[in-house]
Amino acid sequence: MKIAIAGAAGRMGRTLIEGVLKDKSLTLVSAFDVATSGFIGKDAGELVGSPCGIMVGSDARLAIAASQCLIDFTRPEATLAHLEIATVSGAGMVIGTTGFSDEQKQRIVAASRRIGIVMAPNFAVGVNVTFKLAEIAARALGKDFDVEIVEAHHKHKVDAPSGTALKLGEVVARALDRDLGRSAVYGREGITGERKENSIGFHSIRGGDIVGEHTVIFAGEGERVEVTVRSQSRMTYALGALRAAAFLKGRAAGLFDMQDVLGLA
């Protein structure tokens, strides 16, 4: 399968390149970044110590047109621009970008009627198993347990709570038949009063080089259940994204997530 990588010089871009080059079922055909990147014209493989003859470019149209699937972990505006190109070329997309508005998400839904898309807030296999475990715990423990979600990431992450934390909240809220928009509480400060019934709390930690940690706390009377996943390497995200790309082979259209890819839906 022919793969293109967006944001090639970024942390995730480099990890994805490394993963593709090691996967014998996939072929890196293009890698691109913004025109101002200092890596334009350099061998993409050199970014990860494995020269491959594919040069980092700045022309998204050419890069995407050469591929069967684009893997994009960039920013919302860039991802949507790449999406428009992909819908014309027919390339599938694996979208790991987070921070989309509701309107932007609807644009992705519309595009999925023309191309195959796997979109997830987190592609790590362990994280996606955690989504399922959180759902099972929420259904079993029910309304008598208060729910708090704590996440930690590196100091360079620009959005909070993380897309993964929000997904965990959505999973739990759905299992408990709650509206997350009404139940969510983002941090607490000052005289907040007693905890509101049915609320789901979110707390974000930013610092150092933390790759990603997420904990769902179910706190009841006399006992507490915690479901935790810790990512120690970005390669976990990359390997999941590569599985998602392979999943799209032969799927002309549709919007999927990692639960579909892993058979957990």
The C-alpha R_g of the chain, in whole angstroms, comes to 19
* Whether residue 154 lies in the annotated active site: no
SS3 125: helix
Phi first, then psi: what are they for 48, rounded to 5°?
-125, 15
Task: Point out the catalytic residue in the list 22, 42, 132, 157.
Answer: 157
CA 51 to chain centre: 27
**89 contacts 64 by C-beta, under 8 angstroms:** yes
The active-site residue out of 82, 153, 203, 214 is 153
Q: Which residues of 46-67 are buried (b: 16+ CB within 10 A; e: fewer)?
A: ebbeeebebbbbeebeebbbbb
* Residue 157 annotated in active site: yes
What does the alpha-carbon distance between residue 42 and residue 55 come to, in Å, rounded to a whole number? 5
Contacts of 164 (CB under 8 A, 6+ apart): 121, 122, 127, 151, 212, 214
Q: In this structure, what are the phi and psi dihedrals at residue 126, rounded to the nearest 5 degrees?
A: -60, -40
Closest CA to 3 of 85, 93, 89, 67: 67
Which residues are the active-site residues? 153, 157
